[in-house]
Amino acid sequence: MAGQLKEVRNRIKSVQSTQQITKAMKMVSAAKLRRAQDAIIQMRPYAKKMQEMLSNIVSNAGGGAGMTLAAERPVEKVLLIVITSDRGLCGAFNANLIKLAKATINERYPDQFKKGNVTIWSIGKKGYEHFLKTRFTVTDTYKDIFLHLNFESVQKAAQAAMKSFETGEFDVVEVIYSQFKNAATQKFEVERFLPIPKVEAKAGATKADFIYDPSQEELIAELMPKILNTQLYKAVLDSNASEHGARMTAMDKASDNAQEMLRSLKISYNRARQAAITTELTEIVSGAAALQG
């Protein structure tokens, strides 16, 4: 009985220590989430308007010089930029992104994958480790972006993707990331990066007539790379905020589960202790009765 009580006491101490860790991690994630949330909320309206402007220009400009990043061609080689996190303990966040990446390959690019023509650039260590382990074609060039997250580091990845598209190394580039909604909700997205998607004209809609100054070619050549840099940076900021929100929620649930486990263990401990006291009293009474007899 004494051994059983000691075992329960040890388990209680272990769960209490775990609960302290999960509560601390929740507080750290909450602090990081506030900063990450502010960053994406400030970036999102600007990035959205820039993307709309670029898509409208591409849709109305037609072909010609400066439109290489919008050129549609048969898809033979595919690049997926998958944005995961560097660390775990954030619920199903990374698993859902990896699952979406695999589903995208199976649904959209099964033939290219069979030929070995699907390449993954992983931003975040968790995605890189998984795809490397499961023998996908994955590169580690940009996996450490979250160690020093800034516009310049993301811009390097965006420019490399643009150059690879222009040279024909890839025919399509997709970004797979988590769009931040709130601390408890993330929306997992597949977004076309290249070629630049065009806006579908609505029936009866008047075609926009732009006046270009400087020339259309100069403007597009200047705008396209800058806007694409911004789009990838927005996706990375979205995923960063989503990660901290997912971790904060996961640690909150873990703390609640630990509290429930503590309650159950304390009940078990009290029952075992009461049983031990009852046994001791019974032995004392039985011994006293034997002496009297």
Q: Cα dist. 103→80, 113, 119, 171, 267 in Å?
A: 12, 12, 15, 19, 46
139 backbone dihedrals φ, ψ, rounded to 5°: -115, 150
What does the block give as tokens for 142? 């940009």
Length of the chain: 293
Residue 86, SS3 per DSSP: coil
d(CA 26, CA 227): 35
In angstroms, the CA 281 to CA 103 distance is: 66
To the nearest 10°, report the CA torsion of 234, 238, 241, 243: -130
Residues carrying an active site annotation? 90
Amino acid at position 287, single letter: G
φ and ψ at 187, to 5 degrees?
-115, 120
Q: Per the omega criterion (within 30 degrees of 0), is the bond before 197 cis? A: no
Buried b / exposed e over 243-275, threshold 16 CB at 10 Å, is: bbbbbbbbbbebbeebeebbeebeeebeebeee
Tokens of 91: 């619920």
Cα–Cα distance, 223 to 241 (Å, whole number): 27
d(Cα 63, Cα 27) in Å, to the nearest integer?
52
Element (H, E) at 58: helix 2-61
